[in-house]
Structure 1
């Protein structure tokens, strides 16, 4: 999500506020669960291509407190508490994508506690305040937005508890854009303990938001063929999808990119990893994609498939069943 998203009045239905409690992480669309990606799905690492690894790595380490999880020559994987979040790969001779091209809108890093989110925001603002681009209360989450030195979008956020999410009778979730003052948020949540654990506090990739050419084509691929469920949409402007009743694991918008075609080979987004629980859903996803005429192949990384805009998704299985964070915002 971003500050251009929907207003709360457009989506909210207070009469159906208890719908979320009845989901029990099952299908929200009414489709048989064997046609869906598994409820235990989580987003994995997002890989970025850059022509200046040291500059980009320095930002994620110094501003956001990420640490090295693995390294291979100049290429590095950064994360928190051993969990890979961002991969940075050297790519020479490529140009940055234009603002209106398909690709990454932002990668969203999810924190378990409001204090840890506040510490990351505090660190990022202190490191370079010019890279802070906004903040919003989205009803399901509280979020702060930045841009890295290569102009890749970053969201830092914390979820509200699931029992506070509101679902309409149309089975769409209420998400809005309400002004969230970053300085007041830090005053309310920042602690010395959270600042001290900046590099060790757990975090994960909560969702990935893409720029695409049109929403209808995105829905055909991500919902009908891949197996996500639509959680809400903004007409022809944006689509939000998830597995297991989460507010969104992925989103696609056309705010800057209406009608754009497949991505060029540029700097910026490399791959988006999607992690399924071991033994759940990978084969079924492969069969759905094949039945829909989508080209997918097994590699040593997992099941690879490109969306209609040439964004590479890599579906893998977790070492153990994936478990989503609790979503609490209390310190």
Structure 2
């Protein structure tokens, strides 16, 4: 595997060995009103791709994701043996690949592996097939970065235990440090990669946006996320239930336009709430903030100020 240092945040590492332990409730800035429930998690991301067979080969061979369901234009993918998809590929005729950073919208989506041995097996697999990846130690997690055939960004990562997380005042400490690949490989204990485990999930989504103040207004006050990391230049990270982030936003593509109809892109990402009552409470808060909401059979759909759709279901 060819590995390069990957700067997720556009800023130097800020490791701080003197930071305080991040105990529950000791970090983050909650919204002024409605707040997402602690059990909030993410569901599938839906991607528009230019060549379905080529993308399917990439996601199966390189990432080890298995087909859950498939028709002529759509493939649902998840961990081996899983029944809930984490990635949905949709082919739209005339779609063209994009240059990373050239459009607002998706920066990357992040697939969360269940443990360090799985991450070690994945690293060994990438090395064996000669794949290229970036890497970073973010203090709260250990991550690899890839690009799919259409230029869409992918992170594959594993979390560190929450009792190892640190904070500075109320801000969670994250950094962009070199990743100890050898230690992760050792964690696998020589076991072979057999595909993404069934309990692999979608961990977070990271978006290019046009303005961070508008992102706070929409994603914190409108959608109800807590702000977790806010002092990285040009970036803001938000989460629910104390998680380091379910959503990253940045202005590193400032001046870029929103995705066009023919671009490969993120069609929608999904937030899963514990109950239908939670979806109704969120809907009411969105409407109170002047955000247009479309009702769907399984939940609601709305778009951020830069046109990226968000789907919420129970």
Task: Provide the residue aligned with 2:118 in structure 1.
Answer: 116
Unaligned stretches of 5+ in structure 2?
1-5
- Cα deviation digits, residues 224-250 of structure 1 (max 9, x gap): 111101101245511100001100000
Q: Post-superposition shift, 1:68? A: 1.0
Task: Provide the residue aligned with 1:82 in structure 2.
Answer: 83
Describe the SS at the equivalent of 2:171. coil
Describe the SS at the equivalent of 2:270. strand
Task: Provide the residue aligned with 2:61 in structure 1.
Answer: 62
1 CA distance for matches of 2:64 and 2:251? Answer: 31
Structure-2 change in CA distance of 1:148 and 1:7 (3 Å): same
What are the equivalent positions in structure 2 for 1:87-236 lying under 5 Å apart?
Answer: 87-98=88-99, 99-130=101-132, 132=133, 134-169=134-169, 171-182=170-181, 184-193=182-191, 195=192, 197-234=194-231
Structure 1 or 2: larger helix share? 1
CA contact (8 A) 2:152 2:264 kept: no
1 CA distance for matches of 2:208 and 2:93? Answer: 24
Unaligned stretches of 5+ in structure 1?
318-331
Q: Post-superposition shift, 1:75? A: 0.9
CA contact (8 A) 2:271 2:311 kept: yes
Aligned residue pairs total 304
- TM-score, normalisation: structure 1: 0.85
Structure-2 change in CA distance of 1:45 and 1:220 (3 Å): same
2 CA distance for matches of 1:135 and 1:244? Answer: 26
Structure-2 change in CA distance of 1:113 and 1:280 (3 Å): farther
2 CA distance for matches of 1:238 and 1:222? Answer: 13
CA contact (8 A) 1:210 1:252 kept: yes
Task: Provide the residue aligned with 1:48 in structure 2.
Answer: 47
2 CA distance for matches of 1:236 and 1:214? Answer: 12
Structure 2 residue 7 is the aligned partner of structure 1 residue 3: yes
CA contact (8 A) 1:238 1:253 kept: yes
Q: Post-superposition shift, 1:128? A: 4.5
1 CA distance for matches of 2:294 and 2:92? Answer: 24
- TM-score, normalisation: structure 2: 0.89
Superposition RMSD on alpha carbons, in Å? 2.2
2 CA distance for matches of 1:196 and 1:96? Answer: 29
Task: Provide the residue aligned with 2:279 in structure 1.
Answer: 282
Q: Post-superposition shift, 1:63? A: 0.9
Describe the SS at the equivalent of 1:294. coil
CA contact (8 A) 2:66 2:78 kept: yes
